Structure 1
Amino acid sequence: MKLNESTAVSTNKVLLVPYDRRHVLTYHAWMEDPAIQQATASERLTLAEEYDNQLSWRASHDKLTFIVCQPSAPSTVVAAGEVDAPNKMVGDVNLFLTPYDDDNENSNDDSADRVSYVEGEVDIMIADAKHRGQGMGRAAVGAFLGYVAQGGDTARHKQVVPKLRMLVAKINAGNGKSIALFKSLGFEQEGDVNYFGEVKLVLRDDDNGNSLREKISVVGAPEGYAEVVYTRSEGDTASL
């Protein structure tokens, strides 16, 4: 989405920045690792295909993505190319939006005011093993969910939050650490291990009137959470 093209999310443990062209070489190197391909259920792509993906993800209406970087000093502005240099990048976090299957309340409503509800699949990758086990994954997901939910009257809230009814994480059943991460954020397992060896963890609106946004707020944003301006230099050819 273009929604986050000028916004970074800063916390004490991680910095999330928009996925720019400058990040593709490092991202592609991560995805050359067969273990990461397997963990993320991804196919190997050429470098040219990765560049095409970055462009399409930025323009997409149903995908929101940030690159996870090491934390930076507190500031209201961060500059591209400094805080997100290749040696500062550690992974990515994404939200994929799809139609919400249980959209029953509007099933008979053909009016122009009908709301098309969606669910969002969240995934997190900490690519470099040396950065795992330090709480960066949990901080990244917590910051990401905070960004989605804390929109107030902004364009983000108007475009995403009112339509979002459920968050889903699909995780390899053998990845106990990732399962524990999402459970610590309030997600609950739904069903058994599927054909692909994955468990499905969900966080959703419920019948007791607890909205998804309220549930995310209960978890709370990571320490030091702040939305800051992400700037690029004039004529920056590494940005898109």
Structure 2
Amino acid sequence: MLINKNTVIKGKNVVLVPYREHHVPKYHQWMQSEELQKLTASEPLSLDAEYEMQRSWLRDENKCTFIVLSKEKYEATKDEVEAMIGDTNLFFANSEDRICAEAEIMIAEEWARRKKCGWEAMLLMFMYAINYLYVKQFVVKISYDNIASFNMFLKMGFVESSRSEVFREITFSKIVEDLWKKWLFTNLGNYEVFD
């Protein structure tokens, strides 16, 4: 999405940066993992196809993507690729109003899992989407096997809205309301957005 092509969002432990060409080789390496393919319902792409995907996502007004960095590693190395731990995305069915967004989070680096990096990255993405893209509802689709994501979104206040036995996934949703926005800010703490 062109609107976030220069946006950097800094939280306490993670930094969100736009998905750029120099991130592609590491992202491509991650997506060769059968575990990540299964958890994200993704198919492996060739490296050339991954570069094309990155370029198309940058231009697509229905997709907002950030690479998640370990803030500690990034501040120590000043190297985004070295600090990459995952990504977070929003998908819009309607680019005209962007009222509802499907959200995704992936923490690819095993050493960064179970450290609340995905939690913080998702809260940062929600705050960005609410305050800059004016999203009013979020939807997440989680595979039956992804217990960690299932539990995380329940703790964030999402409620189950449907199940698909065919795709073996559960859809959860959350309406943005003032009480939830306060909860987000309380659980996130201070963060900064740079354009």
Q: Which amino acid aligns with 2:183?
A: V
Distance 2:191 2:136 in 1: 24
TM superposition score normalised by structure 2: 0.89
Q: Is the 8 A contact 2:92 2:98 kept in 1?
A: no
Distance 1:137 1:35 in 2: 17
Query: In structure 2, what is the equivalent of residue 91 of structure 1?
Result: 86
Query: In structure 2, what is the equivalent of residue 103 of structure 1?
Result: none
Query: In structure 1, what is the equivalent of residue 78 of structure 2?
Result: 82
Select the structure that is richer in helix: 2
1:146 correspondence with 2:142: no
Deviation of 1:146 after TM superposition, in Å, equals: 0.8
Q: Is the 8 A contact 2:130 2:136 kept in 1?
A: no
Distance 1:64 1:8 in 2: 13
TM superposition score normalised by structure 1: 0.73
RMSD: 2.3
* Greater RCO (CA < 8 Å, at least 6 residues apart): 1
Identity of aligned residues (%): 30
Query: In structure 2, what is the equivalent of residue 199 of structure 1?
Result: 170
Query: In structure 2, what is the equivalent of residue 126 of structure 1?
Result: 107
Q: Is the 8 A contact 1:126 1:137 kept in 2?
A: yes
Q: Map of 1:1-240 to 2, 5 A cutoff?
A: 1-72=1-72, 82-84=78-80, 86-99=81-94, 116=97, 118-151=99-132, 160-161=133-134, 164-204=135-175, 212=176, 214=178, 216-221=180-185, 222-229=188-195
Deviation of 1:14 after TM superposition, in Å, equals: 0.6
Distance 1:67 1:99 in 2: 23
Q: Which runs of 5+ in 2 are unaligned?
A: none
4+ aligned runs moved over 4 Å, structure 1: 115-118
Structure showing greater radius of gyration is: 1
Q: Which runs of 5+ in 1 are unaligned?
A: 101-114, 152-159, 205-211, 230-240
Deviation of 1:224 after TM superposition, in Å, equals: 3.1
Shift in alpha-carbon separation, 1:220–1:55, aligned structure 2, 3 A: same
Distance 1:215 1:121 in 2: 21
Q: Which amino acid aligns with 2:159?
A: E
Relative to structure 2, which stretch is displaced further, 49-58 or 169-178?
Answer: 169-178
